[in-house]
Amino acid sequence: MHFCETYWQTARLRRDKVVSLHRVLSVTQLTAGTCLIRFTREGLAYQSGQYLLLGIPGGDLREYSIFSRPQDSWLEILVRVIPDGSVSAQLARLTPGDSIKVEGVQGSFTVPLDCEHQKFIFVATGTGIAPFHSIVGDFPEIDYQLYHGVRHASECYAREAFAADRYHACLSGECGGVGTYAGRVTQVLYDVSLPLNAACYLCGSCDMIYEVFAMLQAKGIPRAQIHTETYY
């Protein structure tokens, strides 16, 4: 999961530039172009919603949101192979026992520790689901509704980790079945009634971020309640 930040996100936690090597434990192929990589934690502390810079030894680094929970004894990331993307292709070719290079923990795409008193709207496209998997696993009592935009049902990564009545798959490439919507996530959200006091977290493509950000403001949700992490 490779992402950049949108101009309106200003807060970042201090960047830790300590580089360490971790050992790959498993690589699970989820679709033809996406895999889940699990590797040793090596004592690394983080908050759910944060990200790492990753690469192979001697190679470039790219940003990937942490998929695993802070309570887990390992680290996990989702990797979608990007056309002409050298780092994602290198990571996808890793096998158990290989080394993976990790630089620090970064990011402020996190929820408050007292989040049980807040309603949340989570919006993701593709592998942008990763930080929400970590957050919901970290705070199982959190009051959220998650809208996940993908082309096909096979891309609903770790859907079983979310409550069935809180996870809404928005399928743009096929008809929706039970518990899903047919259409892009942005189209679905236009027709959904959203609580104006909700904290909204958006993670995915730039186009989705821009469109949903503007739509939420048009619905009356203040800008201060909207948090973003943009993938490209």
Q: Choose one of 72, 106, 140: the last residue of a domain.
A: 106
Q: Choose one of 79, 106, 133: the last residue of a domain.
A: 106
- Above pLDDT 90, what percent of the chain? 77
Residue type at 2?
H
Q: Are 72 and 127 contained in the same domain?
A: no
Q: Is 170 exposed, middle or buried (0-12, 13-18, 19+ CB in 10 A)?
A: buried
CA 165 to chain centre: 20
Q: Are 203 and 226 contained in the same domain?
A: yes
Residue pair 108/229 in contact (Cβ under 8 Å)? The answer is no
Q: Are 84 and 120 contained in the same domain?
A: no
pLDDT at position 232: 58
Q: Choose one of 78, 106, 134: the last residue of a domain.
A: 106
Q: What is the mean pLDDT of the chain?
A: 89
* CATH code, domain with 86: 2.40.30.10
pLDDT of 120 strictly over 80: yes
Query: Which of 44-53, 119-128, 169-178 has the lowest average pLDDT?
Result: 169-178
Q: Are 128 and 210 contained in the same domain?
A: yes
pLDDT of 103 strictly over 50: yes
pLDDT at position 198: 97
Q: How far is the C-alpha of 111 from the C-alpha of 142, rounded, in Å?
A: 10
Give the confidence band of 14 by pLDDT, cuts at 50, 70, 90: very low
pLDDT at position 177: 63
Q: How far is the C-alpha of 184 from the C-alpha of 172, rounded, in Å?
A: 5
How confident is the model over 123-140, as a mean pLDDT?
96
pLDDT of 41 strictly over 50: yes
- Above pLDDT 70, what percent of the chain? 90
The two tokens of residue 210 are 């821009």
Identify the CA nearest to 147 among candidates 111, 110, 179, 195: 179
Note the pLDDT tens digit of each residue in 43-77: 999 999 999 999 999 999 999 999 999 999 999 99
* CATH code, domain with 170: 3.40.50.80
> pTM value?
0.89
pLDDT of 7 strictly over 60: no
Q: How far is CA 176 from CA 170, 172, 182, 191, in A?
A: 7, 9, 5, 16
pLDDT at position 3: 42
pLDDT at position 178: 56
Residue pair 79/88 in contact (Cβ under 8 Å)? The answer is yes
Q: Are 77 and 140 contained in the same domain?
A: no
CB pairs under 8 A, 24+ apart, for 218-221? 219/194, 220/196, 221/194, 221/196
Give the confidence band of 176 by pLDDT, cuts at 50, 70, 90: low
Q: Which residue range is the domain that position 27 belongs to?
A: 3-106
For the chain, the domain total comes to 2
Note the pLDDT tens digit of each residue in 178-207: 567 888 899 899 989 999 999 999 999 899
Residue pair 7/223 in contact (Cβ under 8 Å)? The answer is no
pLDDT at position 88: 96
